[in-house]
Chains A and B, each alone.
Chain A
Amino acid sequence: MMRGLWKLTWIEIKIFLREPLGAFGTIGFPVLVFLVLGRIAGRRLAPPPLAASSFILVSLPVLASVLIAVSAVLSLVTIISIYREGGILKRLRATPLRPQTILTAHVIVKLILTAATLALMVLAGKRYYPVDVHAPLFSFTLALLISTWSILSIGFLIASIVPTARFAQPIGAIILYPMIAVSGLFVRVDSLPPVLHAVTRVLPLTYAVPLLQGIWNGDAWSTYVGDVAALAVLFAVCTALSARVFRWE
């Protein structure tokens, strides 16, 4: 029963593109920064020094992807809280439209944006980063979508509990950005203090980062069944939790 899902998704995409900074801020700006940085650093990076090469070849694309995913989630948190505060969610609910349809439409919009930004990044990267990358783009996009989907469920949980739209963005950022710091991108997860290590077990990025790195490197999906499963479990738990605590108004 997802009646109206595509229509709502399409309308939400159009509405998003009508925002003064919507398309540029979310898709254009990151790509622009990427291009400018590429221009400045491009010549210096080629050929990459041996020590830095692993970071540039694997970690940088993964970090960029995770940042795209997190900003998509952050924008979802903000939109949900603005919709709630404005009474839009309530008005949509007073129709046969199901809550999960409304939320799924937003998730799809964010996933499409994530994929679009990533695609532009790759195009830009091809032009400015001289490293010859042979990453499996289709698999990587799929891995990123799975990761984003799982992080989105945490976004919903945050969106369920933030008191007002004013707090949505800062609270979301305070919760989401530290997740990147302990995701294993910068410091190995098992070298973290035990308490922090325990916390990382319930964070989606802990599973998303190895998955993204592995797929980028060309590993087989079968190696990461555990990570995908963990992401799925986290998604299920967060979705179930937010379904319980979600406020429509």
Chain B
Amino acid sequence: MRPVIQVSGVRKTYGKTVAVDEVSFEVNEGEIFGLIGPNGAGKTTTMECIEGLRTPDQGTISVLGLDPFRHVYKLQDRIGVQLQQAQLQKRIKVWEALDLWALLYQKKAIDGEHLLEQLGLADKRGAWFMNLSGGQKQRLFIALALINDPEVVFLDELTTGLDPQSRRAIWDLVRGIRARGKTVFLTTHLMEEAERLCDRVAIIEHGRIIDIDRPERLVDRHCPERTVVLATDDPIAEDRFRAVPGVEAVILTDLRFTIRGRGDDLVTEVIRCLSENRIRVTDFRTILPNLEDVFLKLTGHSIRE
């Protein structure tokens, strides 16, 4: 796989505020790469530097072999961009926007009508921008980002403000972009989105990248803890659970055990212990860590704070 985006040592300040610092990473061809972190962490600044909309104070960026600052128009021609909180002219019609965008690129645009259908906007093609709902505006912006059949698609907080159903529809669409061999670079503060959608993620906090990897590997690396919660009234249970390999803590509250340990084998070992000792359980749940926990572990606070 060859990297299509290379970012090295990027720093950007606004006055005295350091927005991003020492940011370095690579995005490979054909992957969905997510930049995740809380609001104000530097996600949008990083993305806009890569898109050529901002100039970094330090560091180098290469996208499709182009310098986003020096070759901004050449670059714009080959990428698709969806900006956070963008607007169009209030009274521009949906089809007019697509029509204009289609004309701006050197390459022949893809079929706009088909795109509208795919995005569920076909019946809105004659509507003014100002009369679209939030979700419809978002889908129009995604259509505009895809109209030139770009090699790299940039999506900044693409499902913010959407209901769960539209969110899932858009995730499918993004997977569809990857299936056609394109590269997707996205930012999100939704851990579920990152986990379900991204091949690799970079966690950013206070303008610095903390770690980069596949979501499941980040979880393995930073949060190896496993938790089993089960309910039983068997009096011998507590001692048996303490003897299970890998178990670090057993907490009993109201006949409900919380068993903590580490390693992928923990769940198997607990189940084996239950069956060998014929312990009767009335409830059994496993709690596996996710990116949310990784973020909490790495930054000491939840992403929502």
Contacts and interface: CB of A to CB of B under 8 A. Distances in A.
Interface in A1-26: 1, 3-4, 7-8, 11-12, 14-15, 18-19
A8 B100 contact: yes
B99 interface: yes
B89 interface: yes
Contacts of B100: 4, 7-8, 11
B51 A94 contact: yes
B258 interface: no
Contact of A94 (B53, B105, B128): B53
Nearest to A20: B91
B236 interface: no
Interface in B93-139: 96, 99-101, 103-106, 128
Contacts of A7: 99-100, 103
B86 A3 contact: no
A83 B91 CA distance: 12
Interface residues of A, number: 23
B91 A91 contact: no
Contact of A96 (B51, B83, B92, B105): B105
A7 B99 CA distance: 9
B73 interface: yes
A46 B88 CA distance: 51
A134 to B, nearest CB: 42
B104 A96 contact: yes
A86 B53 contact: no
Contacts of B53: 90, 93-94
B103 A91 contact: no
A4 B104 contact: yes
A3 B102 CA distance: 11
A15 B77 CA distance: 26
Interface string A176-194: 0000000000000000000
A18 B279 CA distance: 75
A3 B109 CA distance: 14
Interface residues of B, number: 25
B48 to A, nearest CB: 9
Contacts of B268: none
Contacts of A18: 91, 128
A12 B93 CA distance: 11
Contacts of A86: 87
Contact of B87 (A8, A91, A93): A91
B166 interface: no
Contacts, number: 60
B76 A94 contact: yes
Contact of B104 (A83, A90, A97): A97
A98 interface: yes
A32 interface: no
Interface in A75-110: 83, 86-88, 90-91, 93-98
B106 A96 contact: yes
B83 A87 contact: yes
A87 B53 CA distance: 13
A10 to B, nearest CB: 9
A91 B51 CA distance: 12
B101 A95 contact: yes
Contact of A11 (B81, B85, B96, B128): B96
Nearest to B99: A7
A5 to B, nearest CB: 10
B104 A91 contact: no
B87 A87 contact: yes
A8 B11 CA distance: 35
B61 to A, nearest CB: 16
Contacts of A15: 89-92
Interface string B68-83: 0000010011000101
A240 to B, nearest CB: 20
A111 B114 CA distance: 37
Contacts of B99: 7
Given A11-B92, A93-B53, A96-B73, A88 B87 contact: yes
B76 A95 contact: yes
Contacts of A4: 100, 103-104
Nearest to B88: A88
Contacts of A87: 83, 85-87
Interface in B118-174: 128, 141
A14 B106 CA distance: 25
Q: Which 6 A-B pairs give the minimum distances between C-beta atoms?
A: A86-B87, A91-B86, A18-B91, A94-B81, A96-B76, A87-B86
12 contacts: A3-B103, A4-B104, A11-B100, A15-B91, A90-B83, A90-B86, A91-B141, A94-B51, A94-B53, A95-B76, A96-B73, A96-B77
Given A14-B96, A97-B104, 11 more contacts: A8-B100, A11-B96, A12-B89, A15-B90, A18-B128, A88-B87, A90-B86, A94-B53, A95-B101, A96-B73, A98-B73
Interface of A: 1, 3-4, 7-8, 11-12, 14-15, 18-19, 83, 86-88, 90-91, 93-98
